[in-house]
Structure 1
Amino acid sequence: MIPPIVYTCESLISLNLYDVYLPNPEFVSLPSLKVIVLDKVELESSLAIEMLISGCPVLESLTVKMINTSYGLESFQVCSQSLLRFTHESYMGLVDRSRFAFLAVFIDAPRLEYLRLRDKRTANYTIKNPGSLVEVDIEVVFNLWFKRKFDPNDLPKRHMIRNFLDGISCVKDMIISSSTLEIIYDYSRCEQLPLFRNISFLRVEFTNYRWEMLPIFLESCPNLKSLVLGFRLRPREDGASILPGPRRFLTSLEYVKIVKPMAAEASEIRLKLVSYFLGNSTILKNLTLFLGNFREKEESVIVKKLLTIPRLSTSCQVFII
Structure 2
Amino acid sequence: MHLQPQPEPLDRSWDDEHVIPPELGPDTVFLFDRMTKDTLEAVGARPEARVLDVGCGRGLDLASQSGKGSILIGCDPSGVMVRRARETLREKGVQPMVVCCSAEHLPFASGSLHRVYCKGAIDHFYDPQRALKEMARVLSPGGRLVISVANFESLGCRLGRLYNRLHRIFTGKELPRPHFWEIPKDHVYRFHKELLFEFMPPGIQLLNLRGISLFWGVPGWGAFLKRTPPEARELLLGMLDRLGRVFPSLADVIVLRAQKPVEKEAAKTTSGVAERAKGEEMNLNTRIQGLLICAGTVVAAMLFLIGLILKSYWALAIPVAIGFLWLLGLAFWIGWTLLTIRVEPPGE
| More RCO (CA 8 Å, sep 6+) | 2
- Between structure 1 and structure 2, the one with the greater Rg is 2
Query: TM-score normalized by structure 2?
Result: 0.26
Which of the pair is proportionally richer in strand?
A: 1
Q: Which has the higher helix share?
A: 2
Q: What is the TM-score when the length of structure 1 is the normalising length?
A: 0.27
